[in-house]
Every structure is written in structure tokens, then in C-alpha cells.
Amino acid sequence: MQDILKLQQKIVPELMDLLEKRYNILRAIYYNQPVGRRILANHLEMGERVVRTEINFLKKQNLINISTPGMTVTSEGEEIIDRLKDFIHEIKGLSEIEEALKQTLRIKKVVIVPGDVEEDHTVMNELGRTAAQYVRGILKDNTIIAVTGGTTIKEVIDNLSYIPYFKNTIVVPARGAMERKVETEANTLAASLANKLGATYKLLNVPENLSDVAFSTILNEKSIKNVIDILHDANVVIYGIGRADEMSTRRGLSQEETNIILEKGSVGEAFGYYFNKRGEVVYSTPSIGLKIEDIRKLENLIAVAGGKSKADAIASVQLNNEKNILITDEGTAMEILNMANDNYDN
């Protein structure tokens, strides 16, 4: 199959370009339906005439419906999207890129979705969908799942179908709450994921940046200790990654603390830990949740993160952790590889 694809790309490269264009249009309609032609053209940054031609083709093939509210994808169209996903993955050579990135970062596995999340927001939908499928594939009975907060992790959970098949499954937040949008806090996402799985959940109603006295007092609370004990036995952790400069602000750190973090060379953040370009923890904020020693022992440590502007951050958190599984987009993967020679020891 791979040899045939290479021949096709050499002899009729325009065929592959057309296939990818129609796939992107169909996928964009699916994630934005119902959607009008003008909005779709703006979203894809294509001329309306080009979009109109392709829409007419997709309509004739019964892959989309056109109505007053806008275009929608038919069941046949949905099937095409699913079946083409792996094919697009192959013709773009993403398997080779996954292996190259895995070797560069020295981690367990890399999964790449086609496209660039910073150029096409439907790629973020696809990132969430791919991560949801991966999570579903590794779940089994008697699993303890820990999740962090964030818009990317919310995308994963939103794309997970209702699958109440697993016995004795518990979902917990990976750390205490942050003062931000409630709908993307770890507590909220843990409850949402549990509902999708028909599982039970526990919450960590603990604010960020506690004083030492308050921190010690809360740790002795029976309800908090029970959740921490469960968290330490987590089998699966699903987490996002942030830029150090942005996350220090979101976590409410002072300007002085932020300056210290950045002066130490931190570029990435996860679980309240700040990492430099060599993958070393250079700073941490006091919080109740998973500790670095717990994280590095986990068998299923799944990072879902995308965006070329976060390439440094993502690489710093992933680097040299052989248990890490990274699910990202094509644009970010290429950016990390392009930066590798300058920023990371290979």
C-alpha cells in the first residue's frame, strides 16, 4: 500500500491534493454543521467559487445535505470521514513523522492528526476525537482515571461517546481547582468524563496557591486524603500542557514568581511543574494532586496538546519520559522536529 501511495504521489500528485482538499472541506462541514457556504469559505480560507464547486460535488455524491440552516454531513459522509482519516494519515507520511518525533523526544508513543490547530480550528476537534478514541481503546474494568483541566482536555471528553461498559471505574481530578472558567476546571471535567463512562467520581475542591499552614491543614482533612489515596493509584492520566509564561499568570503567581520561573529557563508547564528545554523540573507550585514521582511511574500518561506556539512547551514536558504518550497535530509535530537540532539533545 505504501509503495502504491508513493507512486501515486509521484505520477498524479494533483489527485492527492484534491483528495485532501475535499476531505478537509467535508471535515470542516462536519465540525461546524449546519454551516453556510460563505462562513465555510472564510473558515477554510478558500475562494467561494472553489468551495461552491466542491460542495456541488459532495452533494452529488450524497455526502452532504444542503438546507436553509446550512450544510450538514450525511451518514455516508461521516463514514467517508472516518475511513479517509487513516488514508490521509498515510499519504502525508504521518507514521514516519510519529516515529521521528517519538525518537526525538524519547517517549513511548506519538499520535499525530493531519493539519494545524492554529490555522484550522476543526483540527482541534479532530485532536479531541482522536484522543477520545485512543482513551476508549485502553480503558478496562477497575480503572482509575485522573484528568487535568483545560480547553483541550474538555475537547477530548466532549468527543467521547457514552460508553458505560466498565466496572469499578473512578475518575478524579489530577490536582486541585484553578480560578478560571468552571467548565474547563479539572473537577468539572472529571465529573463529565465519569458521566460518559457510567463511572463514579471524586472531587478535589482545593484552591491554588495556599499558604503552608492552610496546605498542611487541608491535607489532613479525611475527605481530601481519601481522594489523594485514590489519585495515587491512578492507571490512566489525561493531561494538557501549557506555556510557562501563560500558565504562571493563569495560576495567579506574582510577577516576581513569574520572573523567577522564566529566569530558570522554564518553557512548559503541566501538573503545576515547570520544565526547561532539557525536560528538567525547575520550579513547582504548591498544590494538592499528582506529584512528579507519581506521574513518572504511570503506565498510561496521555498528553493531548497542540499549537506551534506551544511546541517548546510540549517538547519540554514530554522529553525523556518513556511512559509518555503524546497526541498532537501535524503542524506542532513538524515545529518540534524543526526545533530539535537547536533546542534538544538527540
Range of lowest pLDDT (135-144, 251-260, 276-285, 315-324): 251-260
List the beta bridge partners of residue 73: 64
Please state which CATH class domain 94-343 belongs to. Answer: alpha beta
The overall average pLDDT reported for the chain is 88
pLDDT tens column, 163-200: 877 889 999 999 876 556 788 899 999 999 999 999 99
Work out the percent of the chain whose per-residue pLDDT is above 90. 58
Cα separation of 229 and 158, whole Å?
27
What is the amino acid identity at position 16?
Answer: M
| Closest of 243, 253, 235 to residue 274, by C-alpha | 243
Q: Where in the chain are the domains? A: 2-91, 94-343
**3-class SS at 146?**
strand
Range of lowest pLDDT (244-253, 263-272, 335-344): 335-344
Task: Assess whether pLDDT exceeds 50 at residue 51.
Answer: yes
Total length of the chain: 346
pLDDT of residue 102: 96
74, 140, 160, 318 from 137: Cα distances, Å: 26, 9, 11, 22
* Secondary structure letter of residue 310 according to DSSP: G
Task: Assess whether pLDDT exceeds 50 at residue 346.
Answer: no
Work out the percent of the chain whose per-residue pLDDT is above 70. 91
Q: How confident is the model at residue 228 (pLDDT cuts 50, 70, 90)?
A: confident
Range of lowest pLDDT (273-282, 325-334, 337-346): 337-346
pLDDT tens column, 293-332: 888 788 899 999 999 999 999 999 999 888 899 999 999 9
Mean pLDDT of 38-58: 91
Task: Indicate the pTM of the whole model.
Answer: 0.88
Cβ atoms within 10 Å, residue 259: 12
Task: Assess whether pLDDT exceeds 50 at residue 345.
Answer: no
Task: Assess whether pLDDT exceeds 50 at residue 344.
Answer: no
pLDDT tens column, 80-118: 998 888 888 888 889 999 999 999 999 999 999 999 999
Q: Classify residue 231 by burial, with Cβ atoms within 10 Å: 0-12, 13-18, 19+.
A: buried
Q: How confident is the model at residue 16 (pLDDT cuts 50, 70, 90)?
A: confident
Q: Classify residue 66 by burial, with Cβ atoms within 10 Å: 0-12, 13-18, 19+.
A: middle
What 3 state SS string does 71-110 have? Answer: EEECHHHHHHHHHHHHHHHHHCCHHHHHHHHHHHHCCCEE
| Closest of 109, 153, 23 to residue 318, by C-alpha | 109
Fold of 2-91: Arc Repressor Mutant, subunit A (1.10.10)
pLDDT of residue 100: 96
Peptide bond into 173 cis (omega under 30): no
